[in-house]
Amino acid sequence: MKSFRRHAATVNAGSMADIAFLLLMFFLVSTTISADKGILRKLPGECPSNEDCTKNRHERNILRIHLNYDQEIMIEDDVVEISDIRNRVKAFADNNGASYCSYCKGIKSSQFSDHPKDAVISLGFDTKTKYELFITVQDEITKAYYDLRAAYAERTFNKSPEELTHNELELVKKAYPLVISEVMVKNFN
């Protein structure tokens, strides 16, 4: 009787590296990389030499917005809705209080800022404040200033903000500077 010797089957693995490389290239080319999301803010620069950056602000020039651990929004001591923030910030910044402002259209309340250049938004938040709420409030503050700047651009240059030149845009930003002070309040519970 003849004995049959079985040979082990072999797999040609020579092209496995090529296949792996092609798959890697396919996934690299076909995958989209999402852009980082964040808040577009310019960090404050150094204090100009002709200004006193340590001066105290008058209390009426500070609008205090606080986000508490219950996810409530408080402006000064009033609990408000998100939809109220924009109008409250606009009324505060565009008040035309004690200082003369030739371009302000505010109601001249003794409760709000003297001048848009003196207005500061103090945004305080608790350690348990949700990030989404914080971003939403920041967006509403930014929208309020955008509205004020757009109205100023229309009155002064008869243009929308998108049509302004770089120099005109800088003048609009100087008329209504967005100054936000962010303060985290620690939770002691």
Could you give the number of structural domains in the chain? 1
CA angle 158, 151, 84 (to 5 degrees): 165
39 inside domain: no
141 inside domain: yes
Which pLDDT belongs to residue 148?
Answer: 92
pLDDT digits over 15-65, tens only?
888 888 999 999 888 888 777 666 666 655 566 666 666 667 778 888 999
147 inside domain: yes
Which pLDDT belongs to residue 45?
Answer: 59
Which pLDDT belongs to residue 94?
Answer: 87
Which pLDDT belongs to residue 141?
Answer: 93
Place of tokens 């030739």: 102
> What Rg, from alpha-carbon coordinates, does the chain have?
29
117 inside domain: yes
DSSP 82-97: HHHHHHHHHHHHT---
Tokens matching residue 131: 């990030």
1 inside domain: no
For residue 184, the SS3 value is strand
Which pLDDT belongs to residue 99?
Answer: 65
Which pLDDT belongs to residue 118?
Answer: 85
Q: Split the chain (189 residues) into runs of 10 and give each run's mean pLDDT.
A: 69 79 90 71 60 72 89 90 92 78 78 84 88 91 93 90 89 89 69
Which pLDDT belongs to residue 95?
Answer: 81
What's the rounded Cα separation, in Å, for the pair 45 and 53? 11
178 inside domain: yes
43 inside domain: no
13 inside domain: no
Which pLDDT belongs to residue 84?
Answer: 93
Domain of residue 110, residue span: 59-185
Which pLDDT belongs to residue 109?
Answer: 75
